[in-house]
Structures are given as C-alpha cells and as structure tokens.
Structure 1
Amino acid sequence: MTTTKRLGPEPKATEDEVLIVAECFGAEVPTFQGEGPSCGHPALFIRLSRCNLTCTKCDTKYTWDWCRFDQRKESTKRSVAGLVAWAASSPVELVVITGGEPLIQQARLVPLALGLLAAGKRVEFETNGTIAPTPQLVADGVRFNVSPKLASFGVKETKSIVPAALEAFVASGRATFKFVASTVHDLDRIAELADAHRLAPVWVMPEGTTPEVITATTRVLADGVAARHWHFTTRLHVLAFADTRGR
C-alpha cells in the first residue's frame, strides 16, 4: 500500500502553470533523501511523470510504462502554485524534484524552482542527464544529481549518454554525477565516461531494490570505488522502508 497522499483540489491554472505529477510525499509521512550527496537529509519529494528513456531496470516504471500501468491513475496535472504551497506547508528544507525525467517539463520547472527558493527551500533535481538545464534553472539553491544510465541498466548508451547535455551540467558548477552500478565492469565504464566528459564529483550507488541485494552489491563495488577516490552512496530508503512507494 502506498503512503503517498494526493494533493487536494486547486484553482484552475493555465497550461503553462501546470506540471504532470506522479506523486508527492514527505510532508504527511516524513522521509529523507535516500541517495547521493544529501543522503539522510529530511526531504520532500515531487515526482514528475513521463521519461525519455525506457530502462529495463528502472524502479519507477509507473511514471512512463503505459503497457504495465494506467497513466490516468498514475499521473495528474498540478499547478505550480499548488506544489509550492504544499512544500511551503512543511518545515522540511530540501525538496527533491525527480521522475521519470523531470527536465522533460523544464519550462514549467523554472517557476516551480523559483517559487520553492522564495519559500526558503533548497532544490535538488534528479535527472538522467540527457537534457541540458536552461540558464534560468541554474540558480543559487538549486543542485542537479545527474545519473547517466549505463548499458547494464538496460538502455542503449546511444540514447542515455548525451555529451552536450553532460557538458552543460559540468559547466553549471551545480552538478554531481551519480552512477548506478552492479559490477566491477560498470566501474570501468564509469571511469571512461568520467574521463571523456570531465565528470566530477562522481558518486556510485549499488543497484538493487532489496536490502540484501544492496548489501551484496556494495561489497562487490566497495574496493573499486575506494581505489578511484570516488564517493559511495547507498539506497537508504530501501534499507529503511523496504522500497515502499511514497517513502
């Protein structure tokens, strides 16, 4: 059973003020950022619907796989003003905007990010790194957790690795690069990509949707990550909440 609570009715908004949202959580039932540089920080989540990739190992297929999920049930249109008000109602400072791939809706994310910042929040975008951020989105208080997907994640790298977009994130000075890995071979591929595109800092996260798999994969990767002087992150939400949706 999901612990996610849908937002209530909102005033009508014009199309340029509306985002397609999968779920929002962290206000009614507290949680924290489970991955990356802010792992363990209390967090609110705005998960947007839709993605431009179709990774076979994706754990949020309900944001884009309409063969398995009903998009009418899994997504809803929400106003920017309503989302800002929802986040502002919580004392939690960090708001994570994730997906799917949130930057698909980038034009409407600019007023959302600015509204959250004005409400005293700091913002992290979780993105697959295939779409460059607009200059308006690169603002003080905004960070990008860029997670380029390797072929081992079940996607062709001709689609998931977009050099121009990665270069834009590097140039922003507001990005970290978080790779999902399951084997030592994955670490070799990450090193190639980091060298080719000057990606830094690099974070590695073990692939897995159960505590047992995450622990086992952590032990496979730990020496190689340490030897390269990269950062290592777990999936804390999986360890804490058994991958319960909305936590």
Structure 2
Amino acid sequence: MTTLESIVNGPTTDDAELWLIVAECFGVEVPTFQGEGPSCGHPALFIRLSRCNLTCAKCDTKYTWDWSQFDPRKESTRRSVADLVSWGTSSPVELVVITGGEPLIQQPRLVPLVRKLLAAGKRVEFETNGTIAPLPELIVEGVRFNVSPKLASFGVKEAKSLVPAALEAFAASERAAFKFVASTVADLDRIAELADAHRLAPVWVMPEGTTAEEITATTRVLADAVAARHWRFTTRLHVIAFADARGR
C-alpha cells in the first residue's frame, strides 16, 4: 500500500504522470450541490481524496482512512491529474470541492490540478481539518478553504487535531472560513476560545448529525447561542436532501 510519504514526496515534474489517491468523484453524472458552509446550496462537483491524518470517532467518511472497517483496495484508486481535469471540465458547474479524508496530505500534487481547473474557469473549495498549512501556490484567486478544526467532542485528541501554526496560516491567508461541528453549547464555548486564541474568522457552526432529525434537533439546541455570538450557521443540506447518501 502506498504510504503518505510517497504521495507527498513522489515525483511531480510531469503533469501527465501525476496521480492522486481518490476515494470518489461525483456531481457530473448525478448533479448535486455543496451541502455545508459558505457555498451551501451552490451546484458543485466533488473530488474526494483518500487518506486522513486524523482518526475521528465521529467521522462520516471513514471509508477514506479506516482500514479496520474498509478495504483500501476497494475504496480508493489512483487517478491522474489529467483525468481529473477532464472529468471536472466535462460539466458546466463552476464550483469544484476538493475534500477527503484530508486533501492537503496530497497538496503538492494538487497544485497542477487546481491551476488547470482555475484556467478552465472553475473555482475551488478545499474542505480541510486545518492541521496542514496550505502551500503558497494554493493561496490564489479562485481558491477558498473551508477549515473544520476537530474538537475533542468529535472523538479525537485535540493535541493532534488542533495545530496552531496551521490554523494561523489559514487565518493569515484571508481565504479561509472556519467551520466547526458542534453538538452542545459547551462546544461553542470551546470554539470561542480557539477563535480568540488564533484569530479565526469568520466562524461558522454546523450542527452534528447524520440524519435530518438529528440535524434539526441539534440546530435547535445551538441556534440561540450561535446567534448571540453573531456567528454564522450552516446546516448539512446534503443530509437533509439525500439522507446522507454516498456520492450526493
């Protein structure tokens, strides 16, 4: 099995030979939209990369990293940059979301992909856990980062999931929104501490839940407290619309 080190440090000189480890691509054959954050409701194409550097207990895409439950040979494939560009530009949809897993594990190989998508008139959003600072080549017009730092309540040790230098790099880029998953008002207190400590803005809060009923219930728990802090609120529209179906 290919190691993360070989992905990051492998040769990147010839775009025709560049490849990424991909879990799935969707939004061309069956249209969908971005379900979370600043672009919620916008038509979107998704390139979901495989592998993650965290092991969050409440992760809803464990098929990108949890090989105790999933077979990586079945759940991931190598796809070339050229192939991904061809796929993405086959649709008139403007927004391409690059997600994971943790996509920035593979970011040296993402630079040529992003450049070609931007040249084709696309805009790109990264969904990232915020533990890996973005390369300068990705901090460009047409690219945004939806940074989702993971709290202890998400089933991960914050000593691993919160990397101050990386968070501050995203904040300094002025191309990031900080989207926190929350289930309790206590989570909001922790988010406020992190936002103040690392100057994270704008802050978005997303209710935890993998069903429409859970999202509605958590929204009602959090709504007043989020509004009182003058933060932004996002739902999980794809869960409400498509019952969290994979590939939607």
TM (normalized to structure 1)?
0.94
The equivalent residue for 1:169 is 170
Quick one: percent identity of the two aligned structures? 84
The equivalent residue for 1:34 is 35
RMSD: 1.0
In structure 2, the CA distance between the partners of 1:64 and 1:32, relative to structure 1 (3 Å rule), is same
The equivalent residue for 1:74 is 75
CA distance in 1: counterparts of 2:96 and 2:69, whole angstroms: 29
Runs of 4+ aligned residues of structure 1 deviating over 6 Å after TM superposition are 13-16
CA distance in 1: counterparts of 2:199 and 2:175, whole angstroms: 14
CA distance in 2: counterparts of 1:148 and 1:171, whole angstroms: 16
CA distance in 2: counterparts of 1:142 and 1:158, whole angstroms: 28
Correspondence 1:74-153 to 2 at 5 A: 74-153=75-154
CA distance in 1: counterparts of 2:15 and 2:68, whole angstroms: 30
CA distance in 2: counterparts of 1:49 and 1:190, whole angstroms: 27
CA drift at 1:79: 0.4
SS in 2 for 1:96: strand
CA distance in 1: counterparts of 2:31 and 2:89, whole angstroms: 14
CA distance in 2: counterparts of 1:121 and 1:14, whole angstroms: 19
Correspondence 1:172-191 to 2 at 5 A: 172-191=173-192
The equivalent residue for 1:158 is 159
Q: CA offsets, 1:130-177, max 9 Å, x none?
A: 000010111110000000000000000000000000010011110000
Aligned pairs, number: 235
Point out where structure 2 has 5 or more consecutive residues left out of the alignment: 1-13
CA contact (8 A) 1:16 1:108 kept: no
CA drift at 1:208: 0.3
Point out where structure 1 has 5 or more consecutive residues left out of the alignment: 1-12
Q: Does 1:234 align with 2:242?
A: no
